[in-house]
Amino acid sequence: MEGTTTAFFAGQVTLTQLVQNLVYASGTVGALTVVAGLLMIDAGTTRSANLYNSTIEKMVGFFIGFATYFIIGFGFWAGQYYIMAGGTMMDSLKDWWFFGALSNAHAQTVDPAVWPGLNTFQIFIFFLACFAGIVNVLLHFAVSERMKASAFYITCVVATVVSSVLSWAVWGSVGPLTNAGFHDFFGIGFVYIFPTGIAMVLVPQLGKRPGMFAPHPKVPSYKAPSIGLAATGLITIFAGLPMVILSCLFFFDPETYAVSVTMANTSVGIAFNNYGISWAGGAITGAIISYRTKNYIYLLLGPLAGYVSGAPGFDVYLPWQMFLVSLGAPIAAWIVYNFTSKRQIDEHKLFPLFIGAGFYALIMVGLVKSGTPRGGYFGVTEGAYAFQHGQISVLMQLAGFALCLGAGILTGLILSVVLKATTGLRVPEDAQAEGLDKLFWGLENESKS
């Protein structure tokens, strides 16, 4: 029988290992809570006649990204550790693709000398697969109601693979840019800025939605059905992300010693408090902008901008520094929002948050925490991957932003050419105005506004 011939490595299934497993499993719960919050925001701000179609496309896009990541994505991210140890990216892909030896092994049957803490890394596949799906959900916010479903779903597969490769370079501690000094604790580069680059290419080609900037014969004005539901989605995201913070930490002996995924010195309490105060700072400035301009949107975008401003540096800021940085984030987002609105660019979420606040976030980490040691890997004392050999710098922050946005733009350019020549890219304007729920699903809404 298999049970009598298979080796058993008790060190892989200790109570300490279980605690770490639960920590990282909680991150998957947090990520799924974020998805729920994003869907609420979409439901509260999408025109009623397109609401079901918009929601279902986001859900399908999420699971396409999720499944694609399971098939091939994780091997790219894990490849940085193989290369550090003298292996290759292909070794990682062989071990961690859908049918790979390590992705399908029971932890207790794998020698810790081969791969310690296997359960944790397997759970990390689920965790990062959620964020691969979130990349697609965010992209859909920019192209919703205008992009053909077939074109969007193809884009989801490609975006997942490219963002997975990008995560190897810019998120972790021993990837090419992170090891050299680029610092991004929460991964806003490959999760937020990358899909924004794709959107920068697609949005101008998709055009404006009927009624968004000027009356349309069938859509006098574009009306959000429930801002209250959108606000509830915002708080749902706020509630889910603390669990994700735990999954962006590595824990070493002594058992509660935490360093960030970039190997910077931090602690659970500081990272949590930075997260919370970033939302507060963004909410305060966002409320001031909203009351001064009589525009409700910044009561929603303000807290999110504050969060984005802190996401690259929750591990290294002190709470008072985080608060001051987050106060300025909604202003950066507001500048981009005004710029795009005056030019009737129909994208009001990704551009302000991830070009405005995202650029501000990465630069502020470089300015405020310049020289902070990080990078390498714990326990390595010399060589290119020595623990905390690298330092945060403005130059590397600029390089990381340029790489992530540029990768998105290049991906969008290639996809737009291919999609136009195959499935087509844009839903006709008359169909948009009539309502995609009725056209595709036979659903009638009480209001077509």
**Closest C-alpha to 111, from 103, 120, 102:** 102
252 confidence band (pLDDT: 50, 70, 90): confident
- Predicted local confidence at residue 224, as pLDDT: 85
Condensed to tens digits (0 to 9), the pLDDT of residues 373-391 reads 999 999 999 999 999 999 9
**Closest C-alpha to 319, from 272, 355, 388, 283:** 272
Condensed to tens digits (0 to 9), the pLDDT of residues 124-144 reads 999 999 999 999 999 999 999
- Give yes or no for a cis peptide into 254 (omega within 30° of 0): yes
Question: Token digits for 202?
Answer: 């697609």
The amino acid at 228: G
301 confidence band (pLDDT: 50, 70, 90): very high
What is the mean pLDDT of the segment spanning 249-270? 89
**Closest C-alpha to 347, from 168, 148, 105, 140:** 140
1 confidence band (pLDDT: 50, 70, 90): very low
- Predicted local confidence at residue 139, as pLDDT: 98
Condensed to tens digits (0 to 9), the pLDDT of residues 20-65 reads 899 899 999 999 999 999 999 999 999 999 999 999 999 999 999 9
H-helix segments, 6-97: 15-45, 51-68, 74-84, 89-96
The amino acid at 294: K
- Predicted local confidence at residue 254, as pLDDT: 75
CA gap 167, 418 in Å, rounded: 24
Residue with tokens 């965010």: 138
**φ and ψ at 98, to 5 degrees?**
-55, -35
What is the mean pLDDT of the segment spanning 162-167? 98
| CB atoms closer than 10 angstroms to residue 108 | 16
11 confidence band (pLDDT: 50, 70, 90): confident
444 confidence band (pLDDT: 50, 70, 90): confident
Mean of per-residue pLDDT scores for the chain: 94
363 exposed, middle or buried (CB, 10 Å; 0-12, 13-18, 19+)?
A: middle
Decide if 127 contacts 261 (C-beta within 8 A): no
pTM for the whole thing? 0.95
Decide if 415 contacts 161 (C-beta within 8 A): no
Residue with tokens 């405005």: 356
CA gap 203, 142 in Å, rounded: 7
Which CA distances in Å does 41 have to 53, 222, 304, 308? 15, 16, 12, 17
Q: At what angle do helices 298-310 and 358-368 cross, to 10 degrees?
A: 40
**Closest C-alpha to 174, from 92, 287, 60, 230:** 92
